[in-house]
Amino acid sequence: MEKKSADFILRNAANIVVYPFPYRGKGTVPSWQIEEIPNASLAAKDGIITWIGSTAELEKNVKIQPDAEIYDAEGLIALPAFVDSHTHLVYGGNRADEFEMRVSGASYLDIHAKGGGILNSTRAVQNMTIEELFNGAAERIERLMLSGVTTVEIKSGYGLDLKNEIKMLETIQMLQEAFDIRIVPTFMGAHAIPADRAGDPEKFIDEFCNEWIPAVAEKKLAVFNDVFTEKSVFSVEQSRKILEAGLKYGLKPKIHADEVNVIGAVDLAVEVEAVSADHLLKTEEAGIEKMKGSGVIPTLLPGTSTFLMEKRHANARKMIEAGLPVAIASDHNPGSCQFLEANLIQSFAMLQLKMTAAEALIAGTLHAAYAVGLGDKTGSLEVGKAADIALYNLSSYKEIAYKAGCNCLYDLFCDGVALGI
């Protein structure tokens, strides 16, 4: 057998966590099985994993280049780096007053109706420079990295006019250039109908489809096009028009679905072959059945339902039992979820969604990678994928969620390059 060439070696790890039967996308069934390879090493070439196995078998299977970087991981466990597939990291100001209102009994839609919520953040973003937006978002990305994240999706959506939506997307572009991790941009101009356009929403949607989407696509500022499909926001018919317009310009669809009411958003997600349907707080058996085999990644956001003090959370157990490739993400944003760190979201997945440690880990890595279209590149430690590795000074991956709020990350690699954590 020909030896695998390597310019990066991670050796002597106490164990390396792998997924022996990983989800491979539409038409395949997810497995929630995890294997911990003891006394293990990993080899990579040009940032791509070429071999994983017992340290005792390393030299027999790997041709180590003379100038290879050798990292001694003795006593550490190696996991796939986390993927945060749903965030609103670019924003300004804060909504602490709304947080207090909510504790006092106001609902999300009550606050929205009073000019709060998304519209509050819109005012802040419109009054900020791109440099100010960048600085705030950069601090949040650093926090994510410190919790083991090497891939993050970031949405626009607080500009709510073309000029400021592009400003947000250009901020995300600046972040891509500044950080050595994967940052995936999503256009979410369809986050809310601007207050000054509420009198004629159909005219606004026509303008959105005919002017905003083409402008974003022409500048190549986004990969995805997301819409908030909800009562008093965008109807199913309006959402379909927005997502189909995006598809014409190469923007793949995502949907905020079933967060407050079930109005047919999941059916629409399947119809337009959305990459993911997110929130799903109110999704019942009909929606779960609809998603089976569709390729739509159901992305649950337990931090949000916790921050909003919801009496119920997304039904992860029924989704998993139905064979859906459930993902989890932070949904970090200024109003409905200030939780951010990946380890904390792992804890909420177990505490609120009743997921096992293995389910939470796979949902926050491999399935989350599929939720941003990168499941073939990252999200699991396996030959042919990127060497995106999170190292922990723990005895087992199960301790990550168990030690709630404790950041136990020791080191972090993206494409086999240490990020200096």
| 383: CB partners within 8 A, 6+ apart | 49, 50, 51, 52
What predicted TM-score, i.e. pTM, was given to this entire model? Answer: 0.97
User: In the prediction, which pLDDT does 351 show?
Assistant: 98
Domain ranges of the chain: 4-80+380-418, 82-370
User: In the prediction, which pLDDT does 107 show?
Assistant: 80
| CATH among 1.10.1040.10, 3.40.50.300, 1.10.357.10, 2.30.40.10 for 4-80+380-418 | 2.30.40.10
292 contacts 26 by C-beta, under 8 angstroms? no
User: How far, in Å, are 25, 178, 303, 348, 401 from residue 354 at the CA level?
Assistant: 24, 37, 13, 9, 12
> Quick one: tokens of 387?
């060497």
Q: Do domains 4-80+380-418 and 82-370 have the same CATH topology?
A: no
Output phi, psi for 51, to 5 deg. Answer: -165, 145
User: In the prediction, which pLDDT does 117 show?
Assistant: 80
SS (H, E, C) the chain: CCCEEEEEEEEEEEEEEECCCCCCCCCCCCCCCCEEEEEEEEEEECCEEEEEEEHHHHHHHEEEEEEEEEEECECCEEEECEEECCCCCCCCCCCHHHHHHHHCCCCHHHHHHCCCCHHHHHHHHHCCCHHHHHHHHHHHHHHHHHCCEEEEEEECCCCCCHHHHHHHHHHHHHHHHHCCCEEEEEEEEECCCCHHHCCCHHHHHHHHHHHHHHHHHHCCCCCEEEEEECCCCECHHHHHHHHHHHHHCCCEEEEEECCCCCCCHHHHHHHCCCCEEEECCCCCHHHHHHHCCCCCEEEECHHHHHHCCCCCCCCHHHHHHCCCCCEECCCCECCCECCCCHHHHHHHHHHCCCCCHHHHHHHCCHHHHHCCCCCCCCCCCCCCCECCEEEECCCCCHHHHHCCCCCCEEEEEECCEECCC
Q: What is the pLDDT along the chain (421 residues), one digit of tens a residue?
A: 789 999 999 999 999 999 999 999 999 999 999 999 999 999 999 999 999 999 999 999 999 999 999 999 999 999 999 999 999 999 998 899 899 988 999 887 788 777 778 778 999 999 999 999 999 999 999 999 999 999 999 999 999 999 999 999 999 999 999 999 999 999 999 999 998 999 999 999 999 999 999 999 999 999 999 999 999 999 999 999 999 999 999 999 999 999 999 999 999 999 999 999 999 999 999 999 999 999 999 999 999 999 999 999 999 999 999 999 999 999 999 999 999 999 999 999 999 999 999 999 999 999 999 999 999 999 999 999 999 999 999 999 999 999 998 889 999 999 999 999 8
At residue 311, what is the residue type?
Answer: K
CATH 3.20.20.140 for domain 82-370: yes
389 contacts 79 by C-beta, under 8 angstroms? yes
**Residue 107: how many other CB atoms lie within 10 Å:** 12
